[in-house]
Amino acid sequence: MADVPGTVTLETRVIERLAARAAANAAREPQNQPRPRAKARADVAGRRARVLVETAAFWPEPAATAGARIAARVRQELADFAGVQADQVNVAVVDVLMPGPPTPRTVR
């Protein structure tokens, strides 16, 4: 996208970091577990993107269910925080983690 006064241009790596963080946060949601690592790659063209995310899922959730939930979260957060429409989000569940005790919530 051309640099036009009054617009913000985001680098591809920013979109990748937003997608990776959204995926990691979504992967831990059902049991409030520690956030697993996630990697993302994106092809961005203007305000549209195709994203590939690699992350883990927690046992006993099926990989397909986790993948659908993670993809929806990535789409939503890219739209909310970057104004980018993710036309395609592919999620690869590369690891299955055993749930541990929930992470304690602390107030600072």
Hey, what are 53's tokens? 């995310």
In a domain, 41, yes or no: yes
Q: Residue 4 carries which DSSP code?
A: -
What integer is the mean pLDDT of 20-37?
Answer: 85
> Are the beta carbons of 78 and 23 closer than 8 angstroms?
no
The HSE-up count of residue 60 (CA atoms within 13 Å, CB side) is: 0
The pLDDT value given to residue 10: 86
Cα Rg of the chain (Å, integer): 15
Q: Is the pLDDT of residue 33 over 80?
A: no
What integer is the mean pLDDT of 4-32?
Answer: 87
The pLDDT value given to residue 3: 66
| CA gap 39, 53 in Å, rounded | 6
pTM of this prediction? 0.83
**pLDDT class of 68 with cuts at 50, 70, 90:** very high
In a domain, 5, yes or no: no
Number of structural domains found in the chain: 1
Q: Is the pLDDT of residue 2 over 60?
A: no
In a domain, 76, yes or no: yes
What integer is the mean pLDDT of 83-88?
Answer: 96
Range of the domain at 31: 12-97
Q: Is the pLDDT of residue 60 over 80?
A: yes
In a domain, 65, yes or no: yes
